[in-house]
Chain A
Amino acid sequence: MASLKDIQRKIKSVKNTQKTTRAMKLVSSAKLKRTEELAKRSRVYSAKLTEMMDEIAQKINDVGADASDNLFFRQNPNPKKVDIVFVTADKGLCGGFNSQTIKRVNRLLKEFKENGVAVRLSGVGRKGIDYFKFNQISMINEIVGLSSSPNFEDAASFITEIVNSYVSGETDKIVLVHNGYVNMISQEIREDQLLPVDVSRLPKNATHAKSELDIEAEDENALLAALTRKYIEFSMYYALIDSLAAEHAARMQAMDAATTNAKEMVKTLSIKYNKVRQEAITTELIEIISGVESMK
């Protein structure tokens, strides 16, 4: 039987936890707004870059087999070695946000293994890195701190290393996995093939078939390569922002649930406290009465 003091102490501790979770929820909602703003600004850039990329890719496709010689666009039906890049959060306490990403990465690892494909893993975010380290799955590349404050330069230099090994022929495919933002209450695992660029997945735009395209550079491959790299770097950066927004949304939700649960718990504990107090009073009363009775 818990004593009155024990219950009181427990109520206090739950109330303190509730304060923390409520504060964390508020912090996350403020940060989410900021991240959304960031995402909105880079969306315009992303849209334009994709549009330009798409236009060139379509032109290349129109030319036919000859153009698919380009390293970045050549599809490889039987990849031998694949790079998986995942993005998780640096911090926990955000529900199933990180574990969902990890689960998907594990599934991919298993799938590739069954097909006899060698896989290299690179990770952003402490949570995912810790998990794979604990399970003794080695990573070629890891970075902590980038997922909580995305910046374009670091994201670009991180992905460039991976792109370079693709260009040198070490790997045949790059897949990016992250947990993306859908809305305030839901996130969605996104799995994108960065390289080779999947032309069929770029949005179709009918308007640009009309005009001819003149590439004003001495080596058009250089332009295309530079543009493709920029496209990939930006995809990486955008994945980071998307992931951050999703993380804050997930944390908001988790903390909201925790606050509600704490409230519930305080309620049950208070009822218990009152019952125990009442019981103690009743016992005392009976003792006094029986004492008086025996003195008669």
Chain B
Amino acid sequence: MKLMKLEIITPKGVIYDGEAKQVTLPGSEGEFGVLPEHATLVSLLKTGIITIEMADSKKTDIAINTGYVKVDESKVTCIIDGAVALHADDSDIAAKIKEATELLKSAETSNAAIASAVSRVEHIGKIR
């Protein structure tokens, strides 16, 4: 399976920089998935969760407030205002979940979007 390069960048630093099999993004027009060799596009991102399927088929979730994404054939670049990564093998996942929930709640968007993102974060917390 082909891989693509994925970069997730916030003003505070780089959250993720590496290879990925697939990434699911919360676009302003609805959630969409990106596979390698996707056609070039630019989109706004709204408050939600980015799900990354990494090269070793493990999944990582990243809670974001708002941002932009630029997709081209070999590379996906996400420019995000604020993000919290929720790695599966994190020891302090509870603290991360709390942090992510706070980040999402402070986002300036519709309550419905925040509520759905928060419940997803809580779900991630439960299954791990």
Q: Is the CB of B44 within 8 A of A49?
A: no
The interface bits of chain A over 200-238 (1 if a CB of B lies within 8 angstroms of the residue's CB, else 0) are 000000000001111111100011001100100010010
Q: Of the candidates B10, B43, B73, which one forms a contact with A215 in the assembled complex, judged by CB atoms under 8 Å apart?
A: B43
Proximity string of chain B (50-82) to chain A, C-beta cutoff 8 Å, 1 when within and 0 when not: 000000000000000000101011000101000
Closest to A215 in B: B42
Q: Which residue of B lies closest to A216 (CB)?
A: B43
In the complex, are the beta carbons of B40 and A42 less than 8 A apart? no
Cα A227 to Cα B42 in complex, Å, equals 11
**Is the pair A52, B41 in contact by a Cβ cutoff of 8 Å?**
no
A44 touches B13 (CB 8 A): yes
How many residues of B sit at the interface, in one of the four size bands? 20 to 34
Report if A41 contacts B (CB, 8 A): yes
Whether B29 pairs with A44 at a CB distance below 8 angstroms is: no
| Residue count of chain A within 8 Å CB distance of chain B | 26
Instruction: Give Cα A41–Cα B13 distance, bound, in whole angstroms.
Output: 5
Q: Shortest Cβ distance from B87 into chain A, in angstroms? A: 20
A211 touches B72 (CB 8 A): yes
Contacts A45-B79, A215-B42, A216-B27 given; indicate if A237 touches B72 (C-beta within 8 A): no
- A56 interface contact, C-beta 8 A: yes
A-B pair count, CB < 8 Å, reads 64
* A132 close to chain B: CB less than 8 A: no
Interface of A is mostly: helix
The answer to the question of A296 belonging to the interface, with a C-beta cut-off of 8 Å to chain B, is no
Taking the closest CB of chain B, its distance from the CB of A40, in whole angstroms, is 9
Q: Say whether A48 faces chain B, with CB atoms less than 8 Å apart.
A: yes
**Chain B stretch 1-35: residues in CB contact (< 8 A) with chain A:** 7, 9-14, 27-29, 32
* A52-B42, A216-B27 given; A44·B14 CB < 8 A: yes
The closest CB in chain A to the CB of B28 belongs to A217
Is A227 touching B9 in the complex (CB atoms < 8 A)? Answer: no
B39 within 8 A of partner (CB): yes
Do B44 and A214 touch across chains, with their CB atoms under 8 A apart?
no
- Check if A152 is an interface residue, CB within 8 A of chain B: yes
Give the distance in Å from the alpha carbon of A152 to the alpha carbon of B80 in the complex. 13
How long is the Cα–Cα vector from A216 to B100 in the complex, in angstroms? 26
Q: Which residues of B contact A218 (CB under 8 A)?
A: 29
Cβ–Cβ < 8 Å partners of A213 in chain B: 40-42
Residues of A within 8 A of B77 (CB): 48, 51-52
Residue of B nearest to A213 (CB): B40
- A223's partner among B11, B13, B44 (CB-CB below 8 A) is B44
Which partner residue on chain A sits nearest B78 by CB separation? Answer: A48
Shortest Cβ distance from B44 into chain A, in angstroms?
A: 5
> Which residues of the other chain, B, contact A215 by a CB distance below 8 angstroms?
41-43
- Measured between alpha carbons, how far is A55 from B68 in the docked complex, in Å? 14
User: A48-B77, A214-B39 given as contacts; is B44 within 8 A of A226 (CB)?
Assistant: yes
> Assuming the A-B contacts A52-B79, A223-B42, A227-B68, are A217 and B29 also in contact, with contact meaning beta carbons closer than 8 angstroms in the complex?
yes
**Binary contact track A63-78/B, C-beta < 8 Å → 1, others 0:** 0000000000000000
